[in-house]
Each structure stands twice: as C-alpha cells, then as structure tokens.
Amino acid sequence: MNPDLLVDRFIHYLMVEKGLSGNTIESYSMDLSRYVDFLKKTGINSISKDDTAHILRHLIELRKEGLNTRSRARHLVTIRGFYRFLVQEKIIEHDPAHMVDLPKLGLKLPDVLSVEDIEQLLKVPDLTTPRGQRDSAMLELLYAAGLRVSELVQLKIQDINLEAGFVRVFGKGSKERIVPVGNFAREKVADYIKHGRPYLLKTIPSQYLFVARAGKPMTRQGFWKLVKKYAKIAGISKTITPHSFRHSFASHLLEAGADLRSVQLMLGHEDISTTQIYTHVAREHLQQLHEKYHPRG
C-alpha cells in the first residue's frame, strides 16, 4: 500500500485517537516523511512486513548524514510506532521494526538531586509570607508527585484532593493521570490554600491553584527563577534543570524499592522504556553504596 497514505492514516490516528500535542504530531510527521523519502529514493514504493532491512539501512543513512545517537533513536521510536499501528489495523501481518534495536545512547543520565539536596531546598522558602507559603507548596508538590513544571503551574484548584491525598494531572496530549500526594505536600498545600492564596488573590477570582499577579497562573519561567534562587540559598552547586525534581522523584522511588510499572504510571510515560533510564540511576546508586560499605566492595 502507498506509504504516503499509510502515514496520513497514522498521523490522523495520533491526532484523533491518541490526542497527542501539535509539536509531537509535527515531530512524527517529519520523521516519517524522511523515512518515506528514503524508501522512494531506493526504489521502494510500498510498505510491507519484510521492511526490517530497509529500516536498518535508513538508520545507517541517518548516521552518515550526521544525526546524533539520540536523534536516530527518536526516528526509530517513530518508525516502531508506525509499524505497530499497521499491525494493529491488520494492514501488515507482523512488525518488521520489532527486532531493530535502539542505537546506544551512551547513557546520558538525567540530573538527579540527592534526598539531602531536596530536603535542604525544601527548607528555604519563608513560611511566614504568602509567597513563601505558595513557593513551599509548589516545591513540595513538584517533588511529591513527580510533575512536569508545565503541569504544576496549570493545576486548577479542583485538581487536588487533599482529603483523599491525590492530584489529577493533565499531561502530554491532554492525558489524565491520578498521582498520590504524601503528607508533607498535603500540609503545605493546605496551609497555602488557607492563608497564602487568599492574600495573593485578594478579591480576584481564579481557577488556578498557584497564582501570581492578578489571579493569573505562575509561568513556567517565573517558577524556575524561584527554584534557582532557592537552590543558590540552599547551597546546591549541582546544575538544576526544570526536570530535576521529576527525575529525582523517579530515582528516589526506585532506589527505595518501588516497581518500574508504578513509577511509569505516576510519571505518565506511555512507553515503559522511557522510564527505564531511571533504573540505571538506581543501580548506579546501589553500586556506589556497595563499593563504599561492603568489606570487599
């Protein structure tokens, strides 16, 4: 069947059925256009269950063109999703991309703060001020639920249930997930809602949980400036990125014995392979402990 028509069907499926974001759709489209162009250039005008060699040659071609390992891995993830869809739709019998391995990424590990770093940072906001109460609640919730910063700043007041101890999050592609929230974060958020939030809003109504000026939600950039300020006060010299709390949340859970599937659900990762990088972080941590404390480490 015509590759262009199949790609169109797949993109339509991602938009309508999966509800992926515009940026993700655009990325998938560009990757698949490049793959289809490669097929046409090599005289292949149809998609089949026997395309494994073509996929491998395409990846080799991308490497020759100078694409780095991470970009080539992303291309393969896109191609895998495309062929899985074709099998699901019974257009082809089996998936030729299934046996193609991802290029080795050289383990570019996420930035992870230690438990001690996190605890030090969480102590910094001034709880005697409304802004300090807000900032403390945001930091606690960010770490407690492993949220993306963009998810945190977009939370509505009705998205958090302090009594039951969970937060409802709308992640990438507007996918909803429910994440448990521990006692520390619940207490800080409850205190902010009772004292800090009314002061910041004054008489202005707002649906957002964390508010800045005029009842508007805090921006991602505005919040990140605060995090960097607090990290400096806490004396944390490590580089902190917008995902540091999320990475730390996942790594600390796995180090403490949480199973990968549960962490995947809490992070909202569609593919468990995205979550698996944290298992390396956890293993590395355990290896360091073994070397440090075992008599023959």
Give catalytic status of residue 192 as yes or no: no
Tokens of 127: 């709880």
Q: Please identify which of the residues 18, 177, 195, 243 carries the catalytic annotation.
A: 243
Q: Which residue has the tokens 């089949």?
A: 48
Q: How far is CA 163 from CA 2, 160, 182, 187, 239, in A?
A: 55, 9, 11, 11, 35
Tokens of 71: 């970009």
SS3 40: helix
Q: Quick count: other Cβ atoms within 10 Å of Cβ 146?
A: 23
What's the distance, CA 87 to chain centroid? 27
Q: Please identify which of the residues 28, 143, 208, 278 carries the catalytic annotation.
A: 278
Give catalytic status of residue 9 as yes or no: no
Give catalytic status of residue 278 as yes or no: yes
Tokens of 150: 């963009």
Give catalytic status of residue 252 as yes or no: no
Task: Please tell me the distance from the alpha carbon of residue 179 to that of residue 213, in angstroms, as a whole number.
Answer: 28
Task: Please tell me the distance from the alpha carbon of residue 57 to that of residue 80, in angstroms, as a whole number.
Answer: 15
Q: Please identify which of the residues 9, 18, 172, 280 carries the catalytic annotation.
A: 172
What's the distance, CA 160 to chain centroid? 20
Q: What is the 3-class SS of 177-227, one letter each residue?
A: EEEECCHHHHHHHHHHHHHHHHHHHCCCCCCECCECHHHCECCHHHHHHHH
Q: Please identify which of the residues 72, 134, 148, 186 carries the catalytic annotation.
A: 148
Give catalytic status of residue 246 as yes or no: yes
Task: Please tell me the distance from the alpha carbon of residue 201 to that of residue 65, in angstroms, as a whole number.
Answer: 54
Of 73, 91, 63, give the one whose Cα is nearest residue 7: 91
Give catalytic status of residue 148 as yes or no: yes
Q: Please identify which of the residues 197, 246, 247, 252 carries the catalytic annotation.
A: 246
Of 121, 101, 104, give the one whose Cα is nearest residue 113: 121
Q: Residues with catalytic annotation?
A: 148, 172, 243, 246, 269, 278
